Amino acid sequence: MRFQMRFLVFVSLLIFQFIQCSEKSNPADTIPSLSSLPNFKGEWTLEWENKIHQIQIDPEEKKVLFDGNEGLELDLDSVGIRIRAFDEESVKGYFLYSDIKPKSWIGTWENRVVRLIRRN
């Protein structure tokens, strides 16, 4: 009887630990549907290091063209977009959905605060 009780307690603790260690999804990683987000598709102008660059964002394809060149991709999360190079983990740009305005969008580019201007 004593062995059965200890065994039951051990199995219960083991199950409890397994449940506690299971990976839970982070709500910030949940991507909202594009239809619920402000429209950020299209051409934008970025002034960066005394030069003007053209950025074209396509959320459906998750692609970003920088001065007409490929090489950047778009990652969406629950609060904003990340722009990064295909072959890098570091983020080039980050823009919050809440900061988008009809003609401009404040965000960061390589750790500096910048503004995108909508070209349309």
Helices (H) and strands (E) in the chain, counts: 1, 8
The DSSP line for 29-49 is: GPPPPGGGS----EEEEEEET
Contacts of 64 (CB under 8 A, 6+ apart): 55, 56, 57, 58, 72, 73, 74, 83
Residue pair 55/45 in contact (Cβ under 8 Å)? The answer is yes
pLDDT at 32: 74
pLDDT at 114: 95
pLDDT at 36: 81
- What are the pLDDT tens digits along the chain (120 aa)? 676 777 676 666 666 666 666 566 666 667 777 788 888 999 999 988 889 999 999 999 999 999 999 999 999 988 999 999 988 888 999 999 999 999 999 999 998 999 999 986
Separation CA 30–CA 81 (nearest Å)? 12
Residue pair 92/103 in contact (Cβ under 8 Å)? The answer is no
pTM over 0.85: no
pLDDT at 38: 87
pLDDT at 65: 95
